[in-house]
Amino acid sequence: MVTNITPDESAPWRGGFVREQVDALREQGVDVELFSFPVGSREYLPAVRAIRRLLRAERFDVVHAHYGLAGWCAALAGARPLVVTFHGTDVRHPITGFLSRRLVGRLDLVAPASRALLNPEGGRPALPARPGTTAILPTGANLDRFRPTSRAEARKRIGLARDGRYLLFPAAKSRPVKRYDRAFELARRLDAELLSGDEVDTNLMPTWMNAANAVVVTSDNEGFGLVAVEALACDVPVASTPVGIAPFLLGGLAGCHVGSFDAERWAEILRPHLTAKDPRVSGRSRAEWFSGKLMARRVLEAYRDVLERH
């Protein structure tokens, strides 16, 4: 497994879903070696050299890269068969998106995290599909970590008011594609406090979700939309723009909403959750569709298919 979605001091939360997929695959009996290298343009050439040395020293049945540029490093190092999971930014970004789309023709399996990446979204181009060599391979949510807990206890643990009105924007404010401005406007209309992912220790994210009245996903586009799955695993209401898997995940689920952002309409839908003592939805059964363990079994089947064809 090759990735440069690697945590550091500035972003300790980065790439946790890759490591959880590694753990889930190991639980399936797969011997996985994780090669993780830092972000930054200066890191790519050393990564290619290091991967090449590793491939010469050991034998691997499959090399699986997460993120387009990590996939390029593995490809240039001579990795075969090669699977690459694309996560969204690597497809939609003006520069890296072009490189990711050029990589597709070199791969033994093209593995977008959701079907949404195979269609244009938010004015950004799609990942080309190659019939017979494309599989949707999400990483999935860790349902052992994300589960319903007492809202009062969750708020006490992280220092929030017991009777507060809280919306959780589970992303960094600085990422334009996540549209913090929309979430801010929504919270203003609802006279609610807006909590953001900037404030959250990744290990405490389940606590923050259980503490919130609702989770809001206001993004222009998403490669998958894991946070919505994690919130539903906690039975917490979610409102989302129709990005990533949100239309499929949230459609028809009472207490949740998926649709184009309209501050007035969203405020109307979320207001009952902000006045309820402990707002919850029946979301966990939906989240189970995308559990990390289930998705790991899907990845393992994809590996077997690649090996049969290779």
Average pLDDT over residues 41-56: 96
Q: Which residue has the higher pLDDT, 177 or 211?
A: 211
Asked if residues 235 and 253 have their Cβ atoms less than 8 Å apart, the reply is no
**Given this model, what pLDDT does residue 12 score?**
61
Average pLDDT estimate for 35-61: 95
User: Which fold does the domain 2-140+291-309 belong to in CATH?
Assistant: Rossmann fold (3.40.50)
What CATH class does 151-290 carry? alpha beta
Name the least confident of 4-8, 90-94, 135-139, 154-158.
4-8
What is the helix (H) or strand (E) element at residue 258, kind and residue range?
Answer: strand 257-258
Residue 14 is predicted with a pLDDT of 67
pLDDT higher than 90, residue 242: yes
Residue ranges covered by each domain of the chain: 2-140+291-309, 151-290
Supply the DSSP string of 11-78, one letter for each residue.
BTTTTHHHHHHHHHHHHTT-----EE--SSGGGHHHHHHHHHHHHHHS--S-EEEESHHHHHHHHHTT
Q: Which helix (H) or strand (E) holds 108?
A: none
The model carries a pTM of 0.87
Provide the pLDDT for residue 124.
Answer: 79
Computed over every residue of the chain, the mean pLDDT equals 92
**pLDDT score recorded for residue 15:** 67
Question: Quick check: do 2-140+291-309 and 151-290 share a fold?
Answer: yes
Average pLDDT score over residue span 38-66: 95
Encoding tokens for residue 172?
A: 């960094």
- Check residue 222 and give its pLDDT: 87
Mean pLDDT of 181-188: 97
